[in-house]
Amino acid sequence: MNQSPTSLLSLTVAPTQVLRGPQALEQSGEAIAHLGHRPLVVGGNSLRDSFASRPLATLASQLQTVLERQKLNYSLASYSPDCSETSLASLRAAATSHQADLIIGIGGGKAMDTAKLLAHQCKLPVVTIPTSAATCAAWTGLSNIYSDQGAFQYDVTLDRCPDLLVLDYSLIQTAPKRTLIAGIGDALAKWYEASVSSGSSPVTLIIAAVQQARVLRDILFQKSADALKEPGSEVWQEVVDATVLLAGVIGGLGGAQCRTVAAHAVHNGLTHLRAAHDALHGEKVAYGILVQLRLEEMLQGNQLAASARQQLLKFYDEIGLPQTLDALGLGNITLAELRQAAEIACNPSSDIHRLPFQVVPEQLMAAMVSTTTPVERTRSQSTLTAASSLLLAAKAEPGAGKESDLQ
């Protein structure tokens, strides 16, 4: 997995330009007009999207004023039902019929991912305007594709990062607090995943990326609680920068060599359960970090992972990140559904296999139901047995298979 210095390295490190400030959108007109005159504006319009990103119409009115002042001929389109192949096909048609020369994505992570991939497919420049700090999707040269029902399918590496990122604090401040909490969870995963997949890499830029991930984690540990108490404050802005910008830097510097591991694999598996759709990306990923640490504890006897998990549980408590399936709204899923999510997370191409040991679905299921278990001093094998017997007990309960209470 280590990149040799002689092989060709292709990196998409950062957006060409970042405009950041309390009224950044208001001041972004010229920079947008510099990129094109017939923008297609892509956002979400369904109820579910409106939670994370608010309806396209409301947001567009703020953007509209900016575009009109520059006399740009824009058209609005939604990525509903999801960031999926179907939506992209109809958006390509919309871009063609509008003769778009620029794509603008406004909204949450899925709006960003859709706009970036659409621009990539149409070979057009792209502007990202995130309306929440829930992910670093406004920064990265990567898009996740989901099914029309919202199940994760695959990701696409784009040929570059966005041409312009507009990070408007006053826009982000109107998003529900829960989105920033989710963004903190997603950003935290950078350290827990990059240190496992690339912690021993000798490659200069990867060492840099992994160290930035540690710095990011420390900033979040130190500032998140204060930031959440005072939205709009200086410390809040620093945490927004951490989740939207610094998290993006790490993905950019680390590139394909610095990929996700089990936390995102668990997220990907969970997206296949309908009941998980109300939980935000970063909430599922945050829970996935605990599952990953639990796997390291159980299968590797890793005591560092055990204490890292205890540290995270305390932090999650403090800021309100979910620690269990129950907290994700998945307390009533069946054993069959848990197995389905675990099997998807363990498929042969899954990043879970970047862990330095093998994982099978049964082991993952045991980890998924024991994220809050106290640290045991016993050997890893007996820990696993205890978690497995918990699963067996759930299975044996009358009515299990319909509504077994797994957490």
How many whole angstroms separate alpha carbon 269 and alpha carbon 117? Answer: 22
Stretch that binds Zn ion, among 169-177, 186-194, 218-226, 384-392 (CB under 5 A): 186-194
Of 40 and 184, nearer to Zn ion (C-beta) is 184
| Residue closer to Zn ion (CB basis): 15 or 251 | 251
Cβ burial, residue 197 (10 Å; 0-12/13-18/19+) = buried
Shortest Cβ 280–Zn ion spacing (Å):
10
Contact present, 179 and 132 (Cβ < 8 Å) = yes
Please tell me the distance from the alpha carbon of residue 231 to that of residue 241, in angstroms, as a whole number.
13
Asked whether position 155 contacts Zn ion by CB under 5 A, the answer is: no
CA-CA distance, 275 to 330, in Å (whole number)?
A: 6
CB distance 129 to 166 below 8 Å: yes
Q: Which is nearer to Zn ion, 100 or 178 (CB)?
A: 178
Query: CA gyration radius for the chain?
Result: 21
Which of 120/264 has CB closer to Zn ion?
Answer: 264
State the minimum distance, in angstroms, from the CB of residue 138 to Zn ion: 13
Q: Which residues pair with 146 in a beta bridge?
A: 152
* Contact window for Zn ion (CB under 5 A) among 16-24, 49-57, 180-188, 206-214: 180-188
Closer residue to Zn ion in complex, CB, 186/297: 186
Give least dist CB 269 to Zn ion, A.
Answer: 14
The neighbour count for residue 74, using CB atoms within 10 Å, is 22
Give dist(CA 138, CA 154) in Å, integer. 18
Print the binding letters for residues 289-318 with Zn ion: x by CB under 5 A, - otherwise. Answer: ------------------------------
* CA–CA separation, 369 and 321 (whole Å): 16
Q: Provide the minimum distance between the beta carbon of 144 and Zn ion in the complex, in angstroms, as a whole number.
A: 8
| Window of 46-54, 179-187, 196-204, 222-230 that interacts with Zn ion by CB under 5 A | 179-187
HSE value, Cβ hemisphere, 13 Å, CA-based, for 400: 15
Q: Give CA separation, 379 vs 296, 360, 363, 375, in Å.
A: 12, 19, 15, 11
Stretch that binds Zn ion, among 40-48, 182-190, 239-247, 327-335 (CB under 5 A): 182-190
Q: How far apart are CA 335 and CA 365, in angstroms?
A: 9
Rank residues 186 and 337 by Cβ distance to Zn ion and give the closer one.
186
Q: Does 186 bind Zn ion (CB under 5 A)?
A: yes
Residue number, nearest CB to Zn ion: 186
Nearer to Zn ion, 345 or 387 (CB): 345
Instruction: With contacts defined by CB under 5 A, name the span among 21-29, 34-42, 181-189, 344-352 that binds Zn ion.
Output: 181-189
Collapsing DSSP states into helix, strand and coil, what is residue 149?
coil
Between CA 258 and CA 260, with CA 259 as vertex, the angle to 5 degrees is: 135
Please give the size of the binding site for Zn ion, defined by CB under 5 A.
1
Residue 282 CB, shortest distance to Zn ion, in Å, is: 7
> Which range, of 184-192, 222-230, 314-322, 381-389, touches Zn ion by CB under 5 A?
184-192
Binding site for Zn ion (CB under 5 A): 186
